[in-house]
Structures are given as C-alpha cells and as structure tokens.
Amino acid sequence: MSNKLVGKSMLQEFREKREKERTRIEEKYEILGFISSGTYGRVYKAKARKKENKNSSSDEETKSPVYAIKKFKPDKEGDITTYTGVSQSACREISLCIELKHENIVSLQEVLLEDNSIHMVFEFAEHDFLVRIIERKPLPEFTIKSFLWQLLNGVSYLHANWVLHRDLKPANILVTADGVVKIADLGLARIYQLPLQPLFNGDKVVVTIWYRAPELLLGSRHYTKAIDIWAVGCIFAELLTLRPIFKGEEAKMDSKKQVPFQRNQLVKIFEVLGKPTKEQWPTIDQQPEYSNLSSFTLKQLREFYQNTCSSKSDLGFELLSKMLEYDPVKRITAEDALNHPYFEEEPKPSMGVKYEDNDMKVPPAAPNASTTTQGQAGTSHGGVVVGARGKHGHSGKDEGGRSSKRRG
Amino acid sequence: MAANFWASTHGTHWLLNRQQLINSRKDDLKHINEHELTKVNIWFAKIITDLGKNLQVRQIIIATAITYFKRFYTKNSYRGTEPYLVAATCMYLACKIEESPHHIKTVISEMKKLTEGKGGFPYENQKVAEMEFYLMEELDFKMIVFHPYRALATLAQDLGTKNEDVQNAWWVLNDTYRTDMCLLYPPHVIAAAALYLPIALKDIREWFALLNITDIVQEIISLYELWTEYNEEKPQEILQRLLKK
C-alpha cells in the first residue's frame, strides 16, 4: 500500500466503505412515475417499498406513504460537466428544508446520494399546484381566503426564522387534496439575518418578474422580507381575478450581463396602482432607477378591485392594498396580515379547504380555522400527484378520513 | 432554526457528549497518543483558518468550515480519509452555505499555495466535488451552524462590556475553534466563557457563576497551555506517522 501522505487509495477506500453501507434508492423506493422537470433536474413520484414485516396483520391495509423525489442533475458549465460540486440552489434548499418544520411548508423526509446526484425525498400526498387551480375557474371567497391565510401562515413562519423565500408564485405553491397549502421550492431562499454580504451581491435577480416587488424593479441593493409580501399580494389578486395582476414582459439580460431596467413590469404596476409619490414612498428618490420614472398613466387599485375581483369585501381590499404598498417599510408584515380583520369576517378561513371542480359553493358547514368538513369526497382536480402530509399535520384531522383519490 | 438554536439541527442533532468524541477517535489513537491527536486537530484548524484568510472570507465562514471538519471526523478517522481534501472541501461548502460562494478552482489553487512544501494538495475539481457529496452526507445534510459571535455581541451589550474586553473575547472565540468545543457546547455558553476570560479579574464573576462555564474556561486554558509547546513541524511529523500505512 502507498506510503504517500495523501494517496488516492484512501478516498477510494472511504468511497467503497460508504457505497457498501448505502442502500440503493430503488431498494428503498419504488418509482411510480415522472412528475415534472426543471433546470435543476427532475421530480419523480415514488412510494416506499414495504419492509418484510411479520407483525403486520394481513387484513390491515398498510398504505405505503407516497413521496416526491427531486433528483438534481450535476452542475454543468457550458456543455461539459465540470464538477463544480453541488449547486448553490441545491445547497440552499437542502440546508433550509432540513431545518424548517411547518405544516404550510413542504416537508423534507431525507436526502440521498446516488450516482453523483443529490436526491431530495419529500413527503407528499395528492396535490395540485396553485397555478393549475387558478387556471380552472373562479374560486369561492372561502377558498381564496383559506389559501391566502395558509400562505401567509407559512410565510410568517419563514420570516420568523429569518428566511426569505424570494420566489413566491402560484407555480411554487402546492395545495394538497385536503386543501392544505404547502410552500415549495426553496432553491432561492436564504437566511437574511445579518448577511455577510449585501443580498444583492449574491443574486442579481430574484423573484419571477410578475411577482417582483417595486423596490427590486427599481434596483434596490438592499431588500427585506417585504418582497415576499408583495408576491403574496400579487397571488391574492390572482386568486381573485384568475389572472396575474401585473403581467409585464421581461426585459432580457444583455450580453454584458447587466441587469436590465424592467420598464414594462413597472408600467403594469403603475397602471393599477398609479405612479408612486414621495408621500407614499419617502425614500423613492434614493432608488437607483428613480430617474427612469418619468411619465406613467394612473389608475387606482380600488377601481381594479371593484371591476375585476370576485370579492366585494372592503376588508379584503384593505388587506390587498396593504400588501401592495409601494414603500417596503410601510408594507404589512405576514404576521400582521394574519391578524387582519379580513380573516375575522365571514366566511372564515380554514386550514384545509376542500375544493372541487364541480362544486364552487362554500361548503355547507361553515368551517373555522381549525376544522374541516369531513366526508367530502376527495378532489378530482386535474392535477398531478402527491401532496405532503407529514407528521406535522394540521390540527384536528382524522387521518383515515382523507381519501386521496387520484384523478381519473 | 435561524431564530431558535434549540429548534435547529445544531441544537437537536449536532451537540455531542465527550464519550461520543472519545469513541470516534479510537482508530487514530491506536497509532498516536491523545496529546498528539490534539495537535493534529489544531493543525487542521489552522490550515482551514489560513485558507479562509487567503480567500478573504469572514470569520463566520472559517468557523463553519472548521465545524464541518470536526463533525466529519466524529464519524471518520484521519487514517481512513484524506484530511487535506476534507479541509478544502469544508471551506468550499461553508462558503456556499454562508452565501459567499467561491469558485471551486479558487479554493483549490489557494489550498495548493498553502500546502506547498507541506505535502502539497494533489487534487483537482473532480475530487473536491466528489468529496463535497460525501461531506454533506457525513454531516447528515445538516449544514446550518450557529456560532458564538452573535451571542458574544449580545452578552457584551447587555453587560456593557468594554470594547477592549469584547475584542479580546472575540479572539478567544476564534481560538475555541482549535478545540472540540463547537461539538460539545451550545454557542451562547461558549460565548459566555470567552467573555469571562478577559474580564475574569473584574467584579461580575458572580453573574458568570450562574452559568456552567467552568469546563469550557478550563478547556480554553488547557489549549493555551498546549500552545506553548506547539510548533508547526511537530504536527506534520505526527500526521505523517498517523497516515502511514
């Protein structure tokens, strides 16, 4: 054996030892199908393989839990795999998901390593993406309010733990068959407590354009949890109107990789909210792109709300306008939003609202925030797969009562 | 999580007891004695610190990298692994987790410079990238680390400690990363101990007596004792002996 101080043989030895101990993913999980793919890699639906268990009685129907396995593809620079290690986004998602435990955040079961790829195993139940639900048909106010409340509940938990999500949008929010909202995709999320560098240094562009807060569009070098609230406000408006409220066109990055000024997105915002004034936003003239704010037409949010939104609640309007406050300092916090009187008003939100394609009525027994109506049929929404339901389940629900009928 | 140490994986999963540490070192202790192993530990903490300084990263990142390294070696022996590769990989991962990433090539080239004439660093991207996978796995993917620096600032503010004493305590904290303290004690307790040392001769001892910090203080003092007879040739010689098969 080599006498070299550091020989290749040792890593070899370590590797072999570890590989031997490792269970193959396919021994642990049975892949049921493909769910989705993105720049990060692919997501598969899987179920745990049943262990040989002598104690399990035969007539007891043992349901194996269902999982979504997110497989990251190796990092590439250009066409060739250059082995630069685990991507920043995967590092973030793993390190944060493993710490966070909340019923409105997707729950990470375990992380596995195989064939030089990271696999994140999420606990899942049947679910749909909020974006798919919005596409379908108008939602009753009870449903909207329940989704919004849970979304704020999750965001409030993130913010209490100094985590910014930085990519909230309907495509990143899941709703389980039981109507439980799960915030997903923490690949852009980060801890913002006493950052070692300004947030802007790390990621030049955050949040998908339609949900991007005005301070980001105006080039702010520093930003706060208020950017997540703006996105929630946009999602609230989208739930009410079934269309993105500020559907701007994204200016592409130029060849020098300069962050472009997103004129069109701001136009869309100003069309609804009017151009921000110095009274509304006292430090607006300190924004780097302030000089770009020349002339824009004005319209009022109230007009928008009255003409296009399904809700006619004044309190709903008030909450929406507080989330879409121009000045990030004045924008409502997630915690204050949760305590907004809108949620005290009938119909009160529920922690798990069943919604169905064919029945848009408010469920008969007006539920409150801690109970759901049992006995309603499982949803038959046209969505994909899985929905997390873990040990951190929401209050007062009967496990057995949940029928997770898959879509037919 | 970030707001609550006791709910974090650091608090729930990565605080070990001394017996666990002793068990994890059995393998290496067959070849060198405990005293010598301590010197090797100090050596690698220093390598990581110097690597961090050359990369111009913040102290927190150095502290995270050292914590990773120490956590890794609670499950592995020096003999069964390649500690220089592990050290560089810890720094590479710590930079990412602390949101100040450096390119893998930069970390490697700084490590090569640093180890020149000390055995060198015969690894390229691929090896470090591969090691990163294993490192994350050995950390049980629990990568968010709490440090005593913030607690020190809070404590010092509450006590109205003089700047000079705070600065000294900060240096003591840096030194604690050459010991196993970050594996054994919660960060705020380490911070209190570090603050105790520079102001030990002053009159707030009574307040500190309420905290159970004598062990840590003793450990810091032993570190300084060991340091007086520590020079750089020694640990390398010990390491050579340890890794020789």
> For residue range A63-110, what is the model confidence (pLDDT) as tens digits?
678 899 999 886 655 555 567 888 898 999 999 999 999 999 999 999
| Residue with the larger pLDDT of the pair B186 and A1 | B186
CB contact under 8 A, B3 and A118: no
**A259 and A197 in contact (C-beta within 8 Å)?**
no
Res B184 pLDDT > 80: yes
> CB distance from B76 to chain A under 8 Å?
yes
Selecting from A10, A18, A85 the residue whose C-beta is nearest the C-beta of B132 gives: A85
Cα A17 to Cα B81: distance, rounded to the nearest angstrom = 11
Over chain A, what is the mean pLDDT?
Answer: 77
| Residue with the larger pLDDT of the pair B194 and A361 | B194
What is the interface pTM, i.e. ipTM, of the complex? 0.86
Cα A45 to Cα A47: distance, rounded to the nearest angstrom = 7
Q: In sequence order, what are the residues at sequence separation of 6 or more whose Cβ sits closer than 8 angstroms to the Cβ of residue A67? A: A29, A45, A46, A47, A48, A109, A121, A122, A123, A124, A386
CB contact under 8 A, A11 and B60: no
Q: In sequence order, what are the residues at sequence separation of 6 or more whose Cβ sits closer than 8 angstroms to the Cβ of residue B66? A: B45, B48, B49, B90, B177, B182
In chain A, DSSP finds a helix count (H) and a strand count (E) of 12, 12
> For residue range A140-182, what is the model confidence (pLDDT) as tens digits?
899 999 999 999 999 999 999 999 999 999 989 988 888 899 9
| Residue with the larger pLDDT of the pair A21 and A53 | A21
CA distances for B1 relative to A76, A159, A227, A333, A391, angstroms: 31, 11, 21, 20, 18
> CB distance from A98 to chain B under 8 Å?
yes
Percent of chain B with pLDDT over 90: 68
| Residue with the larger pLDDT of the pair A63 and A391 | A63
> Which residues of A are tagged catalytic?
167
End-to-end CA distance of chain B: 43
A386: which DSSP letter? -
Cα B67 to Cα A269: distance, rounded to the nearest angstrom = 47
Res B156 pLDDT > 70: yes
> For residue range A217-260, what is the model confidence (pLDDT) as tens digits?
998 888 999 999 999 999 999 999 888 999 999 988 776 677 88
> CB distance from A121 to chain B under 8 Å?
no
A317: which DSSP letter? H
In terms of average pLDDT, the best of A145-154, A362-371, B203-212 is A145-154
Kindly list the residues from chain B whose CB atom is less than 8 angstroms away from the CB atom of residue A84.
103-104, 125, 129
| Residue with the larger pLDDT of the pair B94 and A82 | B94
Beta-carbon neighbour count of residue A181 at 10 Å? 25
Which residue(s) pair with A191 in the sheet?
A163
Query: Side chain identity at B101, as an amino acid letter?
Result: P
A163: which DSSP letter? E
pLDDT of residue A354: 63
Provide the whole-model pTM: 0.82
Q: Report which of A22, A85, A94 is spatially closest to residue B130, judged by C-alpha positions.
A: A85
